[in-house]
Amino acid sequence: MTGAVRRIAVSAAVLGSAWLVLLPYTAAACEVCWGANAVENSTTQGISMAMLLLIGVTGFVGGGVSAFFIRLRRRARLLARGEAVMTEEGELRPVK
């Protein structure tokens, strides 16, 4: 990470933290979720399940994208080191 990018990242983190500390209502729960522990009704259960589903789908897609780029990186390293060759079909074959 270069110096300019690092400064921007640190500045964004500091500003975001300050925003949450100085304006806590932005991090507060909505009217439906406030007190959801006291009353378990079908609305709060449905919202909870929907949030879990969305978090799960996001994690699954993010994991797939990450795995793809990790695979590309490993293949590039093998080719750069000369430990594998690329066939005409696009497959990697180990060097004998």
What is the average per-residue pLDDT within 22-26?
Answer: 73
CB 20 within 8 A of CB 27: yes
What is the average per-residue pLDDT within 67-77?
Answer: 93
Rounded distance, CA 64 to CA 71, Å? 11
Residues making up the chain, counted from first to last: 96
The alpha helices in the chain, defined as continuous H runs, are: 3-22, 42-81
pTM of structure: 0.56
What is the average per-residue pLDDT within 63-82?
Answer: 93
Sorted by where each begins, the domain ranges of the chain are 1-94
Q: Which is more confidently placed, 62 or 21?
A: 62
* Model confidence band, residue 56 (pLDDT cutoffs 50, 70, 90): very high
Quote the percentage of the chain above a pLDDT of 90: 35
3-class state of residue 24 by DSSP? helix
Supply 96's token pair: 């004998």
User: Which residues are paired to 84 by β-bridges?
Assistant: 94
